Amino acid sequence: MSLGHLQHQATHAEDHAEQKCEMSFPQPKPEVPQLPQNLLRTIDCQQGAVRAVRFNADGNYLLSCGSDKSLKLWSVSRGTLLKTYSGHGYEVLDADGSYDNSQLCSCSSDKTVILWDVATGQVTRKLRGHAGKVNCVQFNEEATVILSGSIDGTVRCWDTRSRKFDPIQILDEAQDGVSSLKVSEHELLTGSVDGRVRRYDLRMGQLHVDFINSPITCVCFSADGQCTLTSSLDSTVRLLDKSTGEMLGEYTGHKMKGYKLDCCLSSKDTHVLSCSEDGHVYCWDLVEGSLMLKLPVGKAVVQSLSFHPSETRLLTAMEGRVQVWGAEPEETEEDVVVVQQEKA
Amino acid sequence: MASDSDSDGDFVTFGTPLEPLEEDEPLRKPVPLHEQTVKDEKGRYQRFHGAFTGGFSAGYFNTVGTKEGWTPATFVSSRQQKAGRQNARPEDFMDEEDLGDHGIAPRQITTTADFASGRKDVIRDKARAITSLSAPIPGDTVLEDLVAPARSSMGVELLRKMGWKDGQGVGPRVKRRLCKQRADSGTRAFVSASPPNGLSGSQDEEDGEFVPENVTFAPKDVTPIDFTPKVDLHGLGYRGLNPLAALRGGPGAGHINLFTMDSDRSNSLFGEDRKGQRRRGGVAGQGFGVGAMEDDDEDIYHRDIMSNYDTVLGGEEPGDGLYGWTAPQQYNRKKKDAAYLGKILEGFTLASDKLETKTIFPPPNLPRDFRPVHYFRPVVDLSSVSPMVAQALQTSRGHMAQEEPSKGGRHQLDSAQRRELLGEATLQGITESLLNPSRFTPHAEQQQQEALSVWSGPTAQAQTGQTFKPFERTPHKQARYDLYIDQLKQGDRDALELSLDPTMTEWERGRERDEFVRAALLYKPSSSSLSCRFTRGKQDDGVEADTVEVTRDQENDVDDKQAAVKMKMFGKLTRDTFEWHPDNLLCKRFNVPDPYPGSGFVGMPKVKRDKFSVFNFLTVSESPTASASPAPQGNKQSVPLYPDTSHFISRKRSRWDVSGQAGNKERKEKDPVSEFLSVARIEASGSGPEASTTDGPTTDPTVEVLVPSYYIHH
């Protein structure tokens, strides 16, 4: 659904409400979309700086990528460490979980991509081929392909089914490092430091390149698959129409000038969220573009964030901690800090 | 077929006449197909077959015309029926319709050509005369002429009714001129009046008869050319030795001219027989010896005279008057110019086309004080005089533009030029121009100097590995070239001469000299600031690859896009769509059909371009604008972060500018200096982001996304 459509709907709804108000039966007001403004818990990951934090496919677990070469799996609801995956040679930069929670993939500064078995914690496959550190990694929908984008300017498509260690295809259209990467049903969205967002349409066999003129830090698909969200180093998050490339919204106010920080859309596509270097998470209304929430996370840079796939729940990563934010405070608020007793 | 005897009798009607149309009568229904019947002459119904659309009817109740129908006649052995008629005539295969009046072979009594004698056909007469002569009874045409029945064709009858007479030509009557060919052709003139006195023509003058003004003449008869097909294997015009004629003719008959024209022969035929001609039997003639029967053996070996042959191709106007078969210009050409009548010398003819008159220009008028002494300019060596003088000399000679192509700056001058500018004296020693005096044009020499200055510079010294190997295909040549480059780097002035192979010929060396200088200039070392940004390709392209693969679809102009981004006009302006071929396996893994099934490649369509094509290097020119362009975008990340510069972009108030937010207040209290700084920085970063990245992804990019260099210590 495009933004124009959204707008149209919104005005319609208002008109409707006014009409109803004039009549004697006031309609219950539409529910205000809730924002993840309450801190539910803070997890001290103890793996160095957390480079990325990701929900799994159903949102019950989270993955934290540490700079101490480890990848950790946590329970979101209880904040307990479930598994530590070690095998990378340098800091882990991104991770993703398969749709069936049976496999994980992660990428690292050691130029490798690792496919993990969730249960055993063993390395299923270690994929080498990138010439530089690998910034981002994603499974496709059926976890048959791992796509990894690297600072060497290529996106490599690795086959998880075959025993070959060569990528299926190398997408080397980017003229600079690939910083972010998302996969939808048949599309591949990459953001590159050369200031371009590339969308590879496998079904149509086309490559659409949108010029942003600033290094891209993060790209996202909207949940309806009609829009793309890009954040770039000019401290702007832009919502672009996927089919035409027109700009539907521009979200500013945060600070993103030097670090590769994440942005995302809320699960219902109602809000746009972005990390900021000023220690806040900015949350804008998607349609209006107005800043709805400026979530104070801490004093340092908010490195990464991830929105729950269905609920109003947000993960943020700052320094060595991961924070879980929810719409309403949980009753058990006393366990704010869960320190893991795992002593090696 | 019916003929109306009661009416004029001259008209013949054929077929069934259409009934007269009456205007008021309503249109009658067309007769349906099954009621359209055909009867034959005897009133029997006939049926049409498929042959109705162009064939014969089979007849006899749809059979072939026999009771047996298509059943073949039983085989009859020819052994017993040898005496029977063997060969079938065409009539055997015809039915009565064909033999009828309007069939293909009508059976009626007509005068055949053998018995016909109508108009006097010249050719036919001649032919008949010839045959009559060769016949056993000579002159039997006389008899034939007596008994021949009259027959004339319908056209002749019609012509006669129109006033035509035998022997005349067909057409309107002519005023005065009459062709003279009748007398030549040997036939008698039919026109009662004698030929008119034309303006030309000797015969008319000879006759000198009076021709009245009001007399018109019939046009002359045109003798049709007899195009008899050539069936024998003789040469053109050769008639062969007619044995009959040879037998008949004795030595008195003289030479049997095998090549004589028809007209000559007929002339002799129709003319009076020679007096002493005796008819004798026996074999005689050129091809045969003198037999025992011959009493005289003179002229056995007849010496042919060349006058018997035509020596000119199509020379003389043939007397047969075949005007209809020749181009008329040939005869018009013969008209003589009246002015030259009688003045033409014997053996000369008038030229067909006029001579071109030459225009002669008079010599120039000399000025009064002209002294016929040449002053030679003194040859001044440019390098030995001061630059001012040299420049003045060059401009006076007009060579200025040629010899000094473009002085791009003091760094592009070579040492000689610098020396000229500084006015220093020439170094002592033998200069190159003295060494090889006539070899070099000044241009080549200058190129050599340029190569020397380029390669002996500090940037070239810093560059250790030579990247371009232009003569890699011929290793020896490449080795010599390397030697040349090495010596250039050492600043050796005689680098070129030393590196060349002395065993080669002078010409080869000259060519190689030119090639080396050109190559050295072409692949001169890039400036160090530029070259450090690029790394060598990992895999060598090999010797054969003179081309590189370049993506076929190139991106649009980046400047336009930057302008569009600045104006926030995303959409068409900022979007490029390319054809992209995913791997078949990737499509399979993504559960989508291959959009380009059977395409032989993956990724973007590539085209082969010349490796050193100008277009591949357009963006990395060494022009000062490119080298002076600011660091690429990524470097911005290494720029120390300034506070409060995040909001300068959205100066414009839009609905996306949300009021009541912290940033707004900051914007108000922002100092103008920082704003100016930031704007300048944005412009700088926007102007040249592509300069470094056009050559594909480098293995050592200067740009990388930083992550907070933060580390927790326990």
Longest dimension (CA), chain B: 154
Among B266, B257, B264, B268, smallest CA distance to B304 is for B257
Selected residues 177-216 of chain A with any CB under 8 Å from a CB in chain B: 177, 179, 185-186, 193-195, 200-215
For residue B472, the distance in angstroms to the closest alpha carbon of chain A comes to 30
Quick check: is A335 in a domain?
no
* A87 strand-pairing partners: none
H helices within chain A, ranges in order?
3-22
Quick check: is A295 in a domain?
no
Task: Mutation target for A interface from B534, B601, B646: give the one with most A CBs within 10 A.
Answer: B646
For residue B639, the distance in angstroms to the closest alpha carbon of chain A comes to 8
Q: What pLDDT, on a 0 to 100 scale, did the predictor assign at position B177?
A: 53
> Please, which pLDDT band fits residue B439 given cuts at 50, 70 and 90?
very low
Q: What's the domain range around A111?
A: 48-261
Using a CB-CB cut-off of 8 Å, the residues of chain B touching A51 are 707
For residue A25, the distance in angstroms to the closest alpha carbon of chain B comes to 33
Q: What pLDDT, on a 0 to 100 scale, did the predictor assign at position A180?
A: 92
Tally of structural domains, chain A: 1
Q: How far apart are the first and last CA of chain B?
A: 132
Quick check: is A330 in a domain?
no
Query: Once rounded to an integer, what is the mean pLDDT over residues B493-510?
Result: 77
B595, B650, B655 member nearest A205 (Cβ) = B595
Q: What pLDDT, on a 0 to 100 scale, did the predictor assign at position B632?
A: 39
Read off the DSSP letter of residue A126: E
Q: What pLDDT, on a 0 to 100 scale, did the predictor assign at position B535?
A: 56
Using a CB-CB cut-off of 8 Å, the residues of chain B touching A169 are 582-583, 585-586, 602-603
Judged against a pLDDT cut of 70, whether residue B15 lies above it is answered with: yes
- Reported as a single tens digit per residue, the pLDDT across A185-236 is 889 999 999 889 999 999 888 899 999 888 999 999 998 888 999 999 988 9
Q: What pLDDT, on a 0 to 100 scale, did the predictor assign at position B561?
A: 83
Interatomic CA distance for residues B712 and A46, integer angstroms? 8
Residue A11 in tokens: 């005005």
> Please, which pLDDT band fits residue A64 given cuts at 50, 70 and 90?
very high
* A338 strand-pairing partners: A43
Other Cβ atoms closer than 10 A to A191:
31
> Please, which pLDDT band fits residue B3 given cuts at 50, 70 and 90?
very low
CATH number at residue A127: 2.130.10.10
Interatomic CA distance for residues A217 and A235, integer angstroms? 10
Using a CB-CB cut-off of 8 Å, the residues of chain A touching B714 are 46
A157, A195, A284 member nearest B586 (Cβ) = A157
Selected residues 251-310 of chain A with any CB under 8 Å from a CB in chain B: 251-260, 277, 284, 288-291, 294, 300-301, 303
Longest dimension (CA), chain A: 70
Interatomic CA distance for residues B206 and B195, integer angstroms? 11
How many helices and strands, by DSSP H and E, does chain B display?
A: 25, 7
Quick check: is A238 in a domain?
yes
Cβ of A253 within 8 Å of Cβ of B661? The answer is: yes
A49, A135, A290 member nearest B708 (Cβ) = A49
CA angle A265, A268, A270 (to 5 degrees): 65
Q: What pLDDT, on a 0 to 100 scale, did the predictor assign at position B351?
A: 77
Q: What pLDDT, on a 0 to 100 scale, did the predictor assign at position B116?
A: 56
CB contact A167 to B (< 8 Å):
no
- Reported as a single tens digit per residue, the pLDDT across A108-140 is 999 999 999 998 988 998 999 898 999 999 999
For residue B666, give the chain A residue with the closest CA: A253
Lowest pLDDT segment from B218-227, B605-614, B660-669, B677-686: B660-669
Interatomic CA distance for residues B603 and A167, integer angstroms? 13
Predicted model pTM = 0.42
Quick check: is A244 in a domain?
yes
For residue B637, give the chain A residue with the closest CA: A258
Lowest pLDDT segment from A231-235, B53-57, B239-243, B497-501: B53-57
Quick check: is A250 in a domain?
yes
Interatomic CA distance for residues B426 and B98, integer angstroms? 115
In the numeric block, the tokens 């120039």 are attached to B364
Interatomic CA distance for residues A142 and A99, integer angstroms? 7
Judged against a pLDDT cut of 60, whether residue B509 lies above it is answered with: yes
- Reported as a single tens digit per residue, the pLDDT across A82-118 is 989 988 999 999 999 999 889 999 999 999 999 999 9
- Are B694 and B616 in contact by the 8 Å Cβ rule? The answer is no
CB contact B561 to A (< 8 Å):
yes
Using a CB-CB cut-off of 8 Å, the residues of chain B touching A213 are 561-562, 565-566, 686, 689
For residue B408, the distance in angstroms to the closest alpha carbon of chain A comes to 33
Map residue A158 onto helix, strand or coil. strand
Judged against a pLDDT cut of 80, whether residue A66 lies above it is answered with: yes
CB contact A142 to B (< 8 Å):
yes
Selected residues 596-615 of chain B with any CB under 8 Å from a CB in chain A: 596, 602-604
Task: Mutation target for B interface from A169, A196, A284, A340: give the one with most B CBs within 10 A.
Answer: A169
For residue B450, the distance in angstroms to the closest alpha carbon of chain A comes to 36
H helices within B164-305, ranges in order?
181-185, 202-207, 243-248, 262-270
Judged against a pLDDT cut of 80, whether residue B388 lies above it is answered with: no
Q: What pLDDT, on a 0 to 100 scale, did the predictor assign at position A328?
A: 80
Judged against a pLDDT cut of 70, whether residue B681 lies above it is answered with: no
- Reported as a single tens digit per residue, the pLDDT across A148-183 is 999 999 999 999 888 888 899 998 888 889 999 999
Residue A225 in tokens: 């698959």
Higher pLDDT among residues B218 and B627, named by residue: B218
Question: Rg of chain A's alpha carbons, rounded to an integer?
Answer: 20
Interatomic CA distance for residues B581 and B604, integer angstroms? 6
Lowest pLDDT segment from A279-293, A306-320, B82-96, B172-186: B172-186
Task: Mutation target for B interface from A51, A92, A250: give the one with most B CBs within 10 A.
Answer: A250
Higher pLDDT among residues B617 and B115, named by residue: B115
- Reported as a single tens digit per residue, the pLDDT across A270-328 is 899 999 988 889 999 888 888 888 888 888 889 899 999 888 889 999 888 899 998 88
Quick check: is A5 in a domain?
no
A48, A245, A258 member nearest B574 (Cβ) = A245
Among A108, A115, A100, A116, smallest CA distance to A61 is for A100
Quick check: is A316 in a domain?
no
Task: Mutation target for B interface from A69, A70, A193, A196: give the one with most B CBs within 10 A.
Answer: A193
Cβ of B571 within 8 Å of Cβ of A202? The answer is: no
